[in-house]
Chain A
């Protein structure tokens, strides 16, 4: 029995057959996958999930891939949920948890969405996988396309940082470096989608791709002993994963996998240098998200015109969450704080998330016993250069190779 019923427009509810399309023909609203929850309810149990693999595919029943379809996997997901007692002590939080998604195969949460997208594309006859990206997405797409043995085209801006180009190129995709500003690259992509027979992971097969994000929240709840946290802090670029995390909680409740009926507060994190969702959240019209021109070191989440921005604000307001933003200095300070207290090295996007967590904690948002989870979505080595530039490390001395010099310079 097929568990997928089709695609449905989030705005006008027009229904479509399952296919590689992401925009409603009627109203240009986004399309979402529709599951047969009545059938899933009879089948999905905590035990069934526990018997699945130690990867995000233990939630396969809730992903848009039918049972008989082979999946393209590198073991993504089921990343550690760590209780952060030392960071929590600094912030006055006794039940702080970090979902460390930098532990994924290509070191960002994008492996979840791309694993689903490429599995779907291969099963549906696509021979070429493509994406336009400034980093994490291209990294994941190139790796999973190699794993699947599919042709791969990656479009990048011509001035992308050399370190990122290396970690994409090693998987040997076709790399198309586009000379042009962001808007021009963007425009080219929307025309390419219309004129090639390719699966663009984050564009025409977006409804399937997006579903992969839900597993981050499923795992978090399972790792908390099937309990919902009080609040979740999520970085926002397009807002795609934020919306899916809300859906994940809805599904856990609908399927009876959690017993509580209190929805966690969903809180979003942005960099002030690219904060269209935060700006709207703090205006009189939170659902009117106006585009901005990004200028921030948090490049992996620098999306000036986010597709799901208005839905993020709707969900934040509905659940009692907020959208907060931090400065460049706060991002770097948060990266250091997390590393110093918990031994986790995150990229700038993680700095944004932890920065917002710290800012809200210091402003007195929590009493102290709430269960708060922050999603750390990418690894620090991806953006190590931002730390190299700021000389903030005072605990360094240089000595001669003698005990005398050591005793002079180091107090033990």
Chain B
């Protein structure tokens, strides 16, 4: 099992879409929201995902294919 701490960033087109629900439904992934800040036209969600590493990779790919920006929860790590 693996786990990842992610920050999902939503633009205006995505704010209303239930992508986190879909992520849990379409993949063998457990989702757990830790914090969020969502307004009418943008937002971010800090999300923990757990599952098999390959499944997590597929889940992240899915989010990106839906137009969500996916970053490590703590921001850029390459300094």
B55 touches A (CB below 8 Å): no
| Interchain nearest-CB distance for B32 vs A (Å) | 10
Decide: A189 near B73, CB < 8 A? Known: A26-B34, A288-B37, A290-B42: no
A95 touches B (CB below 8 Å): no
Judging by beta carbons under 8 Å apart, are A290 and B79 in contact? no
Decide: A186 near B72, CB < 8 A? Known: A23-B5, A133-B78: yes
Among B30-47, those with CB < 8 Å from A are 34-35, 37, 42, 46
Q: How far is the CA of A189 from the CA of B77 in the complex (A)?
A: 7
| Interchain nearest-CB distance for B46 vs A (Å) | 4
- Chain A positions within 8 Å of B2 at CB level: 191, 194
Judging by beta carbons under 8 Å apart, are B46 and A27 in contact? yes
Per-residue 0/1 for A58-96: is the Cβ within 8 Å of any B Cβ (1 yes, 0 no)? 000000000000000000000000000000000000000
The residue of chain B having its C-beta at the shortest distance from the C-beta of A294 within the complex is B76
- B9, B35, B75, B76: the one contacting A27 at CB < 8 Å is B35
- B4, B46, B74, B78: the one contacting A191 at CB < 8 Å is B4
Q: How far is the CA of A308 from the CA of B77 in the complex (A)?
A: 12
- Chain B positions within 8 Å of A183 at CB level: 71
Among B53-79, those with CB < 8 Å from A are 60, 69, 71-79
Per-residue 0/1 for B1-16: is the Cβ within 8 Å of any A Cβ (1 yes, 0 no)? 0111100010000000
With an 8 Å Cβ cutoff, the count of chain A residues facing the other chain is: 41
The residue of chain B having its C-beta at the shortest distance from the C-beta of A193 within the complex is B77
- B42, B48, B71, B77: the one contacting A203 at CB < 8 Å is B77
Q: A11-B35, A28-B34, A194-B4 are in contact. List 6 more A-B contacts (CB 8 A).
A: A27-B34, A132-B79, A189-B72, A202-B79, A203-B74, A290-B9
Q: Which of A223-231, A298-306, A328-336 participates in binding chain B?
A: A298-306
Judging by beta carbons under 8 Å apart, are B78 and A23 in contact? no
Judging by beta carbons under 8 Å apart, are A202 and B37 in contact? no
- Chain B positions within 8 Å of A182 at CB level: 78
A185 touches B (CB below 8 Å): yes
What are 30 A-to-B residue pairs whose CB atoms are below 8 Å?
A11-B35, A23-B73, A23-B74, A26-B34, A27-B34, A28-B5, A28-B35, A28-B48, A28-B73, A29-B35, A30-B74, A132-B77, A134-B79, A182-B78, A186-B71, A186-B76, A186-B78, A190-B4, A190-B5, A190-B74, A190-B77, A191-B4, A203-B74, A238-B76, A303-B75, A305-B71, A305-B75, A306-B75, A306-B76, A307-B75
